[in-house]
Amino acid sequence: MQSMFMKARTALETKGRFASGAVPEHIADSWRRCLTHGLDPVGEPLDADIGIQALRETRQKHEQLLRVVRPELELLSTQIAGTNHMTAFADNRGVVLDAIMDTEFSLTKCAQTVRCGTIWDEGHRGTNALGLSLYTGRTSMVTGSEHYFSSHGLVSCVATPIFDSQGQIVGLLDASSEVAARQFHTQALVELAASNIENRLFIEDHRSNIIVQFHPRAEYLKTQSVGMISFDEQGSILGANRRAAQMLNGLEFSAMSKFRDLFRTDFSSNLATMRSGETVRLVDWLNSAFFARIRLSRLSSGPSSQNLALNLPSTYEVPGLPDAPVFRDEQVLNSLKLAIRSAKMMTPQYVIGASGTGRTTFAQAVHEANCPEKPLIAVDCRAANINAESEGLTGELFGGGENSRFLIETGGMLVLEDLSGATGRASEQLAHLINRLLQHKSSAKWAILVTENEPPKEQAHWSKFVSMTFAKLRQLEFQLPNLNERTDGALIAVSMMSRLSTDHQLSRSAIDALFDHHAPNNFYELEKLLTTLAIQCPATVLRAEHVNRYILRNELRDAVCPRCKGNNAKEAKCREINRVFSECNANIALAARKLGVSRNTVYAHTQTNVDEVFDQPRLNGPN
């Protein structure tokens, strides 16, 4: 037995009329418009195409818009569940300018019709999601037989318009599939992608203006649901995003021209407070309350601005490579050569090494040799677990997020620190991001380097999708040895001291004392030792005795010299002398004055401990 809808569908195809109540109102309205256009529902739609030359010119005209749209289109394609789907972007005439489809969908008849350059307004293609959204200015879903032309009955699609800051449609996003069951889930993804694009466009259009972000809840000020209004210095409204108009519903927003027309307070006093970095509370003329702040943004979107660091704890730009980094250890040098070759081929790689073994410097050197003019971005995957819950990693990095600083089209190197520590939503977002960067169809070239303390292991809490995606990165592994296992430790120490202090030089005996008796495992430990020497030692040339005095003695502050061992009273006195000596930063004269004893007494109790540890002759008197 036919449903009411299918009876209406049959009537449309056979009689050219239908019972309106049996069809969703928005679909019924569209069918009527199609009948008015004289379209035959059982015929073939006109294969309208603007042509190759016109398509090229149109894409050039919308080049900036397409740069913003493409990353979201790619992300949307990876987020849609299952297979057999496509995502597309059309301009404000309904002309498809960009499309991504999976292998299964590319083999369908629909794939041949929804191609770049084709026109999808209702007048040419009948009822379809793109054409309906273009006509109504709202998100539209058209499923199967709801399409006007019966030849489109196997496809279901969702489309939503993209608005500029003046409320004009600048384009449309569409997701189509032959699987209708997932369209409601897809609708939410398409709307989110459109919102991300609108916010990016708004920010780019008003970067030189004052952008005020507001939301009823303060914790939402860092999300994509924030309202944004652009003002000049006098408080005149220059533009707003769609979310702002929704929040201020009832105020006839389009008729407002001043800050004061919207909120029950003056612009200048609130501007001064927000410019200091604070969040203010605003109340509109309908008594709705909002939290507001200024969006701080760079003034341009040129190449130099794309290398600004993110103001987020999880994502940051790695600083430049130190001058003349040392790579003389045979194992490290061989790994570096192979890593550079891998990065040039865009082959993902793992760099394994304990914290402080030079992983960051290694990544910097690979980047410098591969693409020094492109961004080098690092993501702390453990910190990302916190940020992912509120802001979204992909938005932070490559578009849509209010704090985004980089365009995926720039290419460069992405360093994922402690990837095995990513959990929950962060691991899913990172997996989607990795898939985007590994897609060969993207013109962006991103080398991916993962740094870990230990060889990678699959985590039980990862989903199958995350595990499979992260496994793609395990193509090459390079092991960095601990500092005390490297053969270029002496050169590293000399290089590090030259950066820390131009007033000090390390002698060979000082280097031997550092590595033979203290054995720093990593760069952090070595830097701490050298900093201590540079700060405390007045001598220009640092020798073994200076290492003994200013470093080892701090570790022997509770020691007892051989002469005092076995006598409780003498041991207590000796410990007191060593403690005060350590607190005085190995200054014998100062320690003697505080203790009320001679410098020779302090020297005798402290130097004996050092001599015993190093098994060397005593120095001739205090220095």
- Residue 184's CB: how many other CB atoms inside 10 A? 11
Q: Where are the alpha helices (DSSP H) in 297-451?
A: 330-344, 359-370, 381-387, 393-398, 424-438
Burial class (CB within 10 angstroms; exposed 0-12, middle 13-18, buried 19+) of 506: buried
Separation of alpha carbons 593 and 599, rounded Å: 8
269-294 residue pLDDT tens: 899 888 877 899 999 999 999 999 98
Domain positions in the chain: 52-194, 206-294, 304-481, 556-623
Burial class (CB within 10 angstroms; exposed 0-12, middle 13-18, buried 19+) of 577: buried
pLDDT of residue 14: 92
**Residues 601, 608 contacting (CB under 8 angstroms):** no
Separation of alpha carbons 475 and 346, rounded Å: 11
Q: What is the mean pLDDT of the chain?
A: 82
Name the residue type at position 563.
R
Q: Judge whether residue 148 has pLDDT over 90.
A: yes
Lowest mean pLDDT among 170-174, 408-412, 564-568: 408-412
Range 20-37 average pLDDT: 92
No. of helices (H) and no. of strands (E), the chain: 26, 18
Name the residue type at position 595.
L
CA separation, residue 70 to residues 59, 136, 406, 411 (Å): 12, 24, 14, 14
Q: Which residues pair with 213 in a beta bridge?
A: 228, 293
Burial class (CB within 10 angstroms; exposed 0-12, middle 13-18, buried 19+) of 534: middle
CA atoms within 13 A on the CB side of 425: 12
Architecture of domain 304-481: 3-Layer(aba) Sandwich (3.40)
Q: Judge whether residue 371 has pLDDT over 90.
A: no
489-539 residue pLDDT tens: 999 999 888 878 878 889 998 999 888 887 888 988 898 888 888 887 888
Whether the domain at 52-194 and the domain at 304-481 fall into the same CATH topology: no
Burial class (CB within 10 angstroms; exposed 0-12, middle 13-18, buried 19+) of 88: buried
Q: Which residues pair with 582 in a beta bridge?
A: none
Order across the sheet with 289-294: list the strands. Answer: 237-240, 227-231, 210-215, 289-294, 280-283
30-78 residue pLDDT tens: 999 999 999 999 998 888 899 989 999 999 899 889 988 888 888 788 7
Overall fold of domain 52-194? Beta-Lactamase (3.30.450)
pTM over cut 0.95? no
Look at strands 376-380 and 156-163 and give their pairing. unpaired
Q: Judge whether residue 197 has pLDDT over 80.
A: yes
Look at strands 505-506 and 541-542 and give their pairing. parallel
Q: Judge whether residue 298 has pLDDT over 50.
A: no
Name the token pair of 419.
């990837």
Give the residue from 525, 475, 479, 529 showing the smallest Cα distance to 501.
529
